[in-house]
Amino acid sequence: MTDLHTIRVTVNGTTYERTVEARMLLSDFIRHELGLTGTHVGCEHGVCGACTVLFDGQPVRSCLMFAVQADGHEIMTVEGLAPEGEMHPLQEAFHEAHALQCGFCTPGFLMTLKPFVETHPNPTEEEIRKAISGNLCRCTGYQHIIEAVKLAIKKIHHTDA
Amino acid sequence: MAGRYFGQPIRRNEDPVLLTGQALFTDDVQLPGMVHVAFLRSDYAHARIRSIDVSRALDRPGVIGVYTAEDLGDYWQPGPLLVPPPPVEGIIFHQRTQVPLAKGKVRHVGEPVVMVVAESRYIAEDALDDIFVDYEPLEAVVDVEKALEPDAPLVHEDLGTNLAARVVQRKGDYEAARAKADVIIQRRFYYDHGLAAAMENRGIVAHWDKKMQYLTVWDTTQAPVVIRNGLAKMLGLSESQVRVIAPFIGGAFGPKIMMFYPEEVLIPWLSMKLNRPVKWIEDRRENFVATTQERYQVHYAEIALTKEGRILGVKDRFYHDTGAYDPYGLTVPINSQCTLLGPYDIPNYHSEMNVVFTNKTIVTPYRGAGRQHGVFVMERLLDLAAKELGIDRTEIRRRNFIPPDKFPYNNEIIYQDFAPLVYDSGNYEPALDLAMKLIDYEKFIKEEQPRLRAEGKHVGLGIVAYVEGTGIGPYEGARVQVESTGKVNVATGVGTQGQSHFTSFAQIVAEQLDVDVRNIRIVTGDTAEFHWGTGTFASRGAVVAGNAIHAAAKKVREKVLQKASEEFGVPVEELELRGGYVHTKDGRSISLADLAVKANPLRGAVKPGTEPGLEATMYFGPERGVTANGVHAMIVEVDPELMDVKIKKYVVVHDCGKVINPLVVEGQIHGGVAQGIGNSFYEEIVYNEDGQMLTASFMDYLIPTAMEIPPIEVGHVETPSPWNELGTKGTGEAGAIPTAAAFVQAVEDALADYGIEILEAPLSPNRLFEILKEAQAKKGT
Ligand code: FES
Ligand code: FES
């Protein structure tokens, strides 16, 4: 009864060829097939945003997709945000603003925010809040995350958000 | 004593691995040959199990085993009682603890009935559908008051009642005080506190290595040492054969300390039985029904006052829903009973607590742990009294605060740590003054509110005070060691779930040894590194483990100086420890690394009694907890058409004694307030009359997002605890405790012209609508 498919997916610049069941979630594929466990799973029903990855550059919830849907596509996970031993300005900003506590939600926030901070040199606070409104964090109350976003934008665009 | 490290907003050591996706969480553990477990859980709140047929599941390819209660043999035992009842005279307490797999009867939705193990999680879940359980549904016990009626169905038939406990505590003579009162206010209050909903669900991986005769368990627990000791006993192993690792944990907030969850008992057993690594990871739906939660209490409370607003006494009778079992004893309702007294000088108190079994998920502490319920009742009583007496709400609180010269203040009743509830220290008026200043109290009520009201806006202010008992015993310990690399290694038994221990504990050590915080490695939650300790709960990490680490670091400092003094032939008093070196006045110096090597010689003789290395292990066991306090204030605007409530401003003034890292404390407060706001207006567990939870997804149980949480302004007052050397008090729960009380007061104030009285939390747009309608109907009649 298992329905197997061979897929080719590029993750963080490396192309993987794997044979998977049609029903395998993309989140499980990334975590358990590829061993990229930085992507977290908090709800498996599309609400918490912890599993967010970039799919051809766009943030998507990997728990709401099947691995087979990623065939021929490019994915970026938190492990691909910066070369080993370095940090993306967004990661630096999260560190500096104390924007994470348990850190479980953090990869999802980072992946949601990467395109946002790179394309919004001057967002209002309301826009920042909207940008992260699809990600749940149970530890921080969001305030330091919002500060981190402002700081990241400053670092990236050399502006004052 | 803000030092170079202690008290500084130092960035966290743990961040880099977390930010780059390299941190190890339980579900990240991947072992060769690992198999996966899924549980078939009860769909019924209350039902007899007539039979279970697992044959089809066993036939499914990829299924390795299927287990019911019968298959566990003697290993099937009810769990231990984690917290025994407190020593209060006349107490009634009935112990009924959870079982690994239901036998004969299920008592709540989500109770595990069958365990399936398979080659993959997908197959294990498929196999759950193959199992047939023949249930005979029974009437569910849902309401705490109806549960005590004579003909109510029984959760535990052998008990003959649903009453799990009754505890009456007294201070002074309430009836005598009541006789002297000018005003008496009586009401019924309802307070519901919900789910912790940590972003990471629970999970366990167990690996029995037969050749090594060694069991390794990764567990999302707040108390790894206790789990290790319990597992060794249950499995007939020596404690030294079991290593429990609580790796990075994605938030906990209380429910991850519930020794033992059925899964914690079963997964290690199964690994030994199969001789393979076994993994079980909870999914979110399971988390809603199978991870412990908090719930509601109903209070019948009254307060007796003089006409000047001085409290003469408080009387309360309340009913606490403990769910189907009571493994955590009375911690939650005792917290409610004690915390109700708050920062006020209340000479007479009479409180009757009734704890009731229901057919619902087990109740154990979740951030606040019953304190919310007590604070809500007391603060509402004061609001009602202020109104009745025509006294300003801040003034009535001020008049009743325990004055600073009355500390230590003895409330006489017994607290959750079994010691009399004595507050170590406190200075409450400055906290109130600062909160009033930050929220601009006078200006708001005299100018802003009238102006906005004239414009047709419904704005209101809430301001409440609270205390939080923190940092209770029994003890924690720590080992601090200067390695031959010059780096410092610190191990402690508490687990960590986001509290920044890797940094704040390092700051405590750095203050003594003057080593860069980044060169101090903290190990928490690994029994192979440190096997004494009780766990992370009750806002005690910074106080209890913190002071143990402080003591060990001081001892190591002494050893360092002693060793250097021997090396240089210079008295200790003439040496200085700075920047990783010990310096003499005449310009000689030696590094900590070199001293560590010299303290561990490989040849030659040492003086008798010499201990190797620069290492010390110390313990801290406080006689009783320390009491933090604070004031929360907020301004809200209510839309009386949509019943939407917007929080326009939020202020927290808190006093947790000495602060180790202000960034971390602020983070704790922000997060607590966010949970408090959720508990005020968004989050609600709804059970129907059959005991089914109707809100078991994030689509129905609403965790606030960045759109709902306002900016939070934090003000500090610092009253160091005289009861520990660091002067710290806990802060983990402070943010979450008084929020709903402030919220309800603010909403009532905003809707003052409707003449409503809100005696419950959480609210919701629907509930607010009903309350307004009820008030209007009353007006009409
Ligand atoms: S795990 Fe995908 S949204 Fe929660
Ligand atoms: S930091 Fe813990 S959930 Fe966001």
CB–CB contacts below 8 A, A to B: 175
Per-residue pLDDT tens digits for B512-523: 999 999 999 998
Domain ends where: A81, A103, A126?
A81
Position with higher pLDDT, B325 vs B5: B325
Provide the domain count of chain A: 2
A44: left (phi over 0), alpha (psi -120 to 50) or beta: left
Question: Which of B10, B14, B18 to probe by mutation at the A interface, max A CB count within 10 Å?
Answer: B18
Q: Quote the domain boundaries for residue A32.
A: 4-81
Position with higher pLDDT, B41 vs B535: B41
Please check whether residues B311 and B436 belong to one and the same domain: yes
Please check whether residues A77 and A120 belong to one and the same domain: no
Per-residue pLDDT tens digits for B246-277: 999 999 888 988 779 999 999 999 999 999 99
Domain ends where: B594, B620, B646?
B620
**Rounded-to-integer distance, Cα B227 and Cα B235, Å:** 12
Measured at the alpha carbon of residue B378, what is the angle toward residues B147 and B670, in degrees to the nearest 5? 100
Please check whether residues B720 and B589 belong to one and the same domain: no
Domain ends where: A81, A106, A121?
A81
Q: With a cut of 90, say whether residue A31 has pLDDT above it.
A: yes
Please check whether residues B466 and B480 belong to one and the same domain: no
Provide the domain count of chain B: 2
Residue A51 in contact with partner chain B when CB distance is under 8 A:
no
Please check whether residues A72 and A108 belong to one and the same domain: no
pLDDT class of A1 with cuts at 50, 70, 90: low
Please check whether residues B595 and B628 belong to one and the same domain: no
Per-residue pLDDT tens digits for A98-126: 999 999 999 999 999 999 999 999 999 99
Residue A31 with chain B: CB contacts under 8 Å = 27-28
Please check whether residues A46 and A95 belong to one and the same domain: no
B14: left (phi over 0), alpha (psi -120 to 50) or beta: alpha
Cβ-based neighbour number of residue B121 at 10 Å? 18
Please check whether residues B466 and B482 belong to one and the same domain: no
Q: With a cut of 90, say whether residue B2 has pLDDT above it.
A: no
pLDDT class of B325 with cuts at 50, 70, 90: very high
Interchain proximity B673–A141, CB inside 8 Å: yes
Please check whether residues A95 and A153 belong to one and the same domain: yes
Please check whether residues B384 and B410 belong to one and the same domain: yes
Per-residue pLDDT tens digits for A57-83: 999 999 999 999 999 999 999 999 999
pLDDT class of B1 with cuts at 50, 70, 90: very low
Residue B25 in contact with partner chain A when CB distance is under 8 A:
yes
Q: With a cut of 80, say whether residue B534 has pLDDT above it.
A: no
Angle between helices B662-677 and B739-750 (to 10 degrees): 50
Check if the beta carbon of residue A61 is closer than 8 Å to that of residue B698. Answer: no
Please check whether residues B440 and B489 belong to one and the same domain: no
Q: How far is the CA of B761 from the centre of ligand 2 (A)?
A: 25
**Does B371 reside within a domain?**
yes
Per-residue pLDDT tens digits for B619-676: 888 888 888 899 999 999 999 889 999 999 999 999 888 888 888 889 999 999 999 9
Interchain proximity B18–A82, CB inside 8 Å: no
Select from A81, A130, A139 the Cβ nearest to the Cβ of B251.
Answer: A139
Domain ends where: A81, A105, A137?
A81
Residue B749 sits in a domain whose CATH number is 3.30.365.10
What are the φ and ψ backbone dihedral angles of B600, each rounded to 5 degrees?
Answer: -130, 65
pLDDT class of B538 with cuts at 50, 70, 90: low
Please check whether residues B417 and B514 belong to one and the same domain: no
Q: Which SS3 state, helix, strand or coil, does residue A84 take?
A: coil
- At which residue do the structure tokens 């989050």 appear? B683
Length of chain A: 161
Please check whether residues A58 and A122 belong to one and the same domain: no
As a whole number, the mean pLDDT across chain A is 96
pLDDT, mean of residues B162-189: 97
Structure tokens at B560: 């360092």
What contacts B108, CB < 8 A, 6 or more positions away?
B42, B45, B46, B289, B323, B324, B359, B360, B361, B362, B691
Nearest chain A residue (CA) to B661 = A98
**Does B231 reside within a domain?**
no
Per-residue pLDDT tens digits for B199-249: 999 999 999 999 999 999 999 998 899 999 999 999 999 999 999 999 999
**Nearest to residue B760, comparing CAs of B369, B189, B377?**
B189
pTM: 0.95
Interchain proximity A142–B705, CB inside 8 Å: yes
Find the range with the poorest average confidence among B76-80, B390-394, B731-735: B731-735
Please check whether residues B336 and B377 belong to one and the same domain: yes
Residue A29 sits in a domain whose CATH number is 3.10.20.30
What is residue B3's predicted lDDT score, i.e. its pLDDT? 80
Distance from CA of A27 to the nearest CA of B (A): 13
Residue A152 sits in a domain whose CATH number is 1.10.150.120
Q: Quote the domain boundaries for residue B582.
A: 15-21+473-620
**Rounded-to-integer distance, Cα A51 and Cα B698, Å:** 15
What are the φ and ψ backbone dihedral angles of B27, each rounded to 5 degrees?
Answer: -70, -5
Strand partners, B190: B298, B760
Check if the beta carbon of residue A23 is closer than 8 Å to that of residue A64. Answer: no
Check if the beta carbon of residue B302 is closer than 8 Å to that of residue B317. Answer: no
Residue A102 in contact with partner chain B when CB distance is under 8 A:
yes
Please check whether residues A75 and A95 belong to one and the same domain: no
Please check whether residues A69 and A120 belong to one and the same domain: no
pLDDT, mean of residues B458-474: 89
Structure tokens at B472: 């209770």
Question: Which of A3, A51, A96, A101 to probe by mutation at the B interface, max B CB count within 10 Å?
Answer: A101
Tell me if A7 CB under 6 Å of ligand 1.
Answer: no
Residue A61 in contact with partner chain B when CB distance is under 8 A:
no
Distance from CA of B365 to the nearest CA of A (A): 16
Structure tokens at B485: 């690399």
What is residue B553's predicted lDDT score, i.e. its pLDDT? 93
User: Please, what sign has the CA dihedral across residues A15, A17, A21, A22?
Assistant: positive
What is residue B585's predicted lDDT score, i.e. its pLDDT? 94
- Which of A29, A37, A48 is the best mutation target for the ligand 1 pocket, counting ligand atoms within 8 Å of the beta carbon and taking the most? A48
Residue A27 in contact with partner chain B when CB distance is under 8 A:
no
**Rounded-to-integer distance, Cα B514 and Cα B562, Å:** 16
pLDDT class of B536 with cuts at 50, 70, 90: low
Domain ends where: B597, B620, B643?
B620
Please check whether residues A30 and A60 belong to one and the same domain: yes
Please check whether residues B684 and B631 belong to one and the same domain: yes
Tell me if A104 CB under 6 Å of ligand 1.
Answer: no
Domain ends where: B595, B620, B645?
B620
**Nearest to residue B715, comparing CAs of B678, B674, B665?**
B665
- At which residue do the structure tokens 């079963």 appear? B266
Please check whether residues A134 and A151 belong to one and the same domain: yes
Please check whether residues B502 and B463 belong to one and the same domain: no
Question: Which of A104, A113, A133 to probe by mutation at the B interface, max B CB count within 10 Å?
Answer: A104
**Does B40 reside within a domain?**
no
Which strands form A4-11's sheet, in the order they lie side by side?
Answer: A14-21, A4-11, A74-76, A52-55, A58-61
Q: How far is the CA of A137 from the centre of ligand 1 (A)?
A: 12
Q: How far is the CA of B288 from the centre of ligand 2 (A)?
A: 18
First-to-final CA distance of chain B: 63
Structure tokens at B740: 């709903």
Distance from CA of B465 to the nearest CA of A (A): 21
What is residue B541's predicted lDDT score, i.e. its pLDDT? 67
Does B403 sit behind a cis peptide bond, omega within 30 degrees of 0 on the bond before it?
A: no
Per-residue pLDDT tens digits for B570-604: 999 999 999 999 999 999 999 999 999 999 888 88
List b or e across B59-98, with b for residues whose CB sees 16 or more CB atoms inside 10 angstroms: ebeebbbbbbbeebeeebeebebbbebbebeebebbbbbb
Interchain proximity A95–B15, CB inside 8 Å: yes
Please check whether residues B645 and B765 belong to one and the same domain: yes
Please check whether residues A114 and A75 belong to one and the same domain: no
**Rounded-to-integer distance, Cα B412 and Cα B312, Å:** 16
Interchain proximity B251–A134, CB inside 8 Å: no
**Does B193 reside within a domain?**
no
Residue B15 in contact with partner chain A when CB distance is under 8 A:
yes
List b or e across A15-51, with b for residues whose CB sees 16 or more CB atoms inside 10 angstroms: eeeeebbeebbbbbbbbbbbebbbbbbbbbeebbbbb
Measured at the alpha carbon of residue B125, what is the angle toward residues B78 and A64, in degrees to the nearest 5? 120
What is residue A161's predicted lDDT score, i.e. its pLDDT? 45
User: Which runs of consecutive H residues, i.e. helices, occur in chain A?
Assistant: 26-28, 89-96, 106-119, 125-131, 143-157
As a whole number, the mean pLDDT across chain B is 93
